[in-house]
Structures are given as structure tokens and as C-alpha cells.
């Protein structure tokens, strides 16, 4: 978990420097808001199923307690850091900078989602051979980020988007707990697997847009 220490510290400092501490102070949580991310959790289940059907590792194993705990904590920490940075800080900053009318707010959410997605290209630094895997992740990260961004904008519920993000990561990555790691370098994602993932996850863009139009119509 030490991996997240510096990113969280830097993000916290940015909140202070940019005067965004009130975002954390005013954060709310309502269990009912979780249902807004129903499609995201459903997609996580599908993602997990795809990897069980088309495993990229060698063989199936039964995980011990240690890896399970580490996996859950890793998903939670990822959700906390990325949502604090991308929704709590970047999205709020863009919305305030470019205005809160219907069109400008939408494009601010789109921009913050694009930043969130592009961040995932960092994986190519350590695993330059995972081109299909990383590109696929960037594409569906944009779609998922857009949905989380819309949910956050209308609920101001930072805890909910953190839990949805972490829940998606858990559901989508749980298959890794049951598969033995490859004997050599991690193989790139098969094109068929990438196509299935994108078909299932890219509709998050439509879900997000539909939710945005519906909620703004109420205002």
C-alpha cells in the first residue's frame, strides 16, 4: 500500500494549494446513490466473466487469504486516489473554470474523463509490449470515468464514486486471484477479449449522457 502514499500526499497538497479542501469537507454519502452506478457494477461482472472464459494466465488456483486482502485493499486505494484526483479535484476545477451551464459542464466532465483515461497509458512505461491491453483499458476507462463523473456531478457524493470505482475494479479483476501468473512476461490481451470488453463497457458513455440529459432536464 506504500505505492499510494506519495500520490495521495501530492493530491492532498493540491487540494490545499488550489483551495479545494471544502470538496472533502462537504462530501456526502447516500447508499441510494450506489444504484446510479448499476451498469458499472454489471459491467464489472461481465469483465470478470470474460477473463474466466478467456484467461490470459496459465491454469486456475485457489487464492490464499493474503493475496485476497492485498487485492481488496489495492482496489480500494486505487478508487480513493483516482476519484479524489479526477472527480474531486480535476473535474470540480474544470467545471468552475469553464462555467456551470449545461453544455460547458458536460464538456468539463468529458475533459476530466479523458485525463483519467490517458493516465492509464503510464502502464506502457513498465510493460511496453502490452499495447492492446493498455489501449483497451484507456478506452473503457474514458467511458467509465464519464459515468462516474456524471454521477458525482449530480450527487456530490465522493464516497459513492469511490465505492463504485473500487467495486468495478474488484469485480473486473477478481479472476486474477484464481489464475496462476504466466511463467514469462505477461501476455498481451487477445483481440477477441479486447473487443468483448469494449462492446460491454463503451455503452457507459450512452448511460452517462442519458443520465446527464435526464438530470439537467429536472433543473
| Sequence-ordered alpha helix ranges (H) in 58-130 | 65-83, 92-98, 102-118, 123-126
Contacts 24+ apart (CB under 8 A), 88-92: 88/15, 88/20, 88/23, 88/24, 88/27, 88/152, 88/158, 89/11, 89/14, 89/15, 89/18, 89/20, 89/23, 90/115, 90/116, 91/149, 91/152, 91/153, 92/20, 92/23
| Per-residue pLDDT reduced to its tens digit, 103-162 | 999 999 999 999 999 999 999 999 999 999 999 999 999 999 999 999 999 999 999 999
State pTM to two decimals. Answer: 0.92
Q: How many other C-beta atoms can be found within 10 angstroms of the C-beta atom of residue 133?
A: 21
Decide: residue 31, CB within 10 A, 0-12 exposed, 13-18 middle, 19+ buried: exposed
Using 50, 70 and 90 to split pLDDT, how confident is the model at 209? very high
Instruction: Please answer whether residues 204 and 146 qualify as being in contact, where contact means their C-beta atoms are separated by less than 8 angstroms.
Output: yes
For the cut 90, the answer to whether the pLDDT of residue 210 exceeds it is yes
Cβ contact 158:24 at 8 Å: yes
pLDDT band at 1 (very low <50, low <70, confident <90, very high): low
The three grid cell numbers given for residue 99, joined into one nine-digit string = 462555467
Q: What is the rounded average pLDDT of the residues 204-218?
A: 95
Amino acid at each position: 500500500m506504500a505505492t499510494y502514499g506519495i500520490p495521495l500526499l501530492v493530491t492532498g497538497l493540491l487540494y490545499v494549494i488550489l483551495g479545494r479542501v471544502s470538496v472533502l469537507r462537504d462530501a456526502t454519502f447516500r447508499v441510494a446513490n450506489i444504484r446510479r452506478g448499476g451498469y458499472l457494477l454489471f459491467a464489472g461482472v461481465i469483465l470478470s466473466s470474460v477473463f474466466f472464459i478467456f484467461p490470459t494466465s496459465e491454469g486456475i488456483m485457489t487464492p490464499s487469504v493474503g493475496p485476497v486482502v492485498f487485492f481488496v485493499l489495492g482496489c480500494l486505494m486505487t478508487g480513493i486516489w483516482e476519484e479524489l484526483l479526477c472527480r474531486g479535484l480535476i473535474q470540480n476545477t474544470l467545471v468552475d473554470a469553464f462555467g456551470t451551464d449545461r453544455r460547458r459542464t458536460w464538456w468539463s466532465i468529458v475533459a476530466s474523463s479523458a485525463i483519467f483515461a490517458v493516465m492509464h497509458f503510464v502502464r506502457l512505461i513498465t510493460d511496453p509490449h502490452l499495447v492492446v491491453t493498455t489501449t483497451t483499458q484507456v478506452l473503457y476507462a474514458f467511458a467509465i470515468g464519464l459515468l462516474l463523473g456524471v454521477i458525482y456531478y449530480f450527487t456530490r457524493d465522493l464516497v459513492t464514486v469511490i465505492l463504485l470505482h473500487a467495486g468495478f475494479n474488484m469485480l473486473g479483476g477478481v479472476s486474477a486471484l484464481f489464475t496462476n501468473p504466466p511463467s514469462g512476461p505477461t501476455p498481451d490481451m487477445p483481440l477477441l477479449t479486447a473487443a468483448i470488453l469494449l462492446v460491454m463497457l463503451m455503452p457507459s458513455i450512452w448511460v452517462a449522457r442519458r443520465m446527464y440529459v435526464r438530470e439537467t432536464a429536472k433543473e
